[in-house]
Chains A and B, each alone.
Chain A
Amino acid sequence: KAGVTQTPRYLIKTRGQQVTLSCSPISGHRSVSWYQQTPGQGLQFLFEYFSETQRNKGNFPGRFSGRQFSNSRSEMNVSTLELGDSALYLCASTSDLGRDTFGSGTRLTVV
């Protein structure tokens, strides 16, 4: 069974730019969540999508957005990048039993 696939693995962007990250969940999983991981704040919940609808949202500014497609693949977008957005962005695919499987993440560096 293929795991959660996140692309790209590494990304370097300049302040003010925007970025789109992609996540392909485990086949059959309808829920996808996104998390930001930084050394200072740890893992923080961004948002969760289920059947193309955003169900939960964390305490992040509106520059952070996402969407989910009919095949459950999800993208998150960050606009007007700031230096503080440098982080590991993790996607989790959730089974109907509530077990999360994480991808290896996308390491975003904003310069």
Chain B
Amino acid sequence: QKEVEQDPGPLSVPEGAIVSLNCTYSNSAFQYFMWYRQYSRKGPELLMYTYSSGNKEDGRFTAQVDKSSKYISLFIRDSQPSDSATYLCAMSVSGGSNYKLTFGKGTLLTVNP
């Protein structure tokens, strides 16, 4: 079993839809949870960074962490064509600079105008 599982999609939605992206993980030592967005031919860009269980909101994006279920989600409200990208979840054990990220394989999202 991989440490982090993420449905690769692809996911196609109409503009304005609410998008739900999810990851599950098996390592209960993970404490820090991130979502990255990666456009074609670009490096990943950090969208959300969370530490504890619960919700964190930033504009149209909401990250949810449920440590008891080992499940994290990213919600995108009022999706836009510019949101079309690959979304990667990532996790780490330590939050300091002495750590490594373990990534899901990414979900390819297309938002159609």
Residues in A lying within 8 Å of B, measured CB to CB: 4, 30-31, 33, 35, 41-45, 48, 50, 55-56, 58, 90, 92, 94-96, 98-105
Please name all residues of chain B whose beta carbon is closer than 8 Å to the beta carbon of A100 when the two chains form the complex.
Answer: 34, 46, 101
Assembled-state Cα–Cα distance A45/B98 (Å): 13
Q: Assuming A4-B43, A90-B43, A102-B45, is B106 touching A42 (CB within 8 A)? A: yes
Q: Are B46 and A101 within 8 A (Cβ)?
A: yes
Supply 24 A–B pairs (Cβ within 8 Å), ascending by A. A4-B43, A30-B97, A31-B98, A33-B100, A42-B103, A42-B105, A43-B44, A45-B102, A48-B98, A48-B100, A50-B97, A56-B98, A56-B99, A92-B101, A94-B97, A96-B97, A98-B92, A100-B34, A100-B101, A102-B36, A102-B44, A102-B45, A104-B43, A105-B43
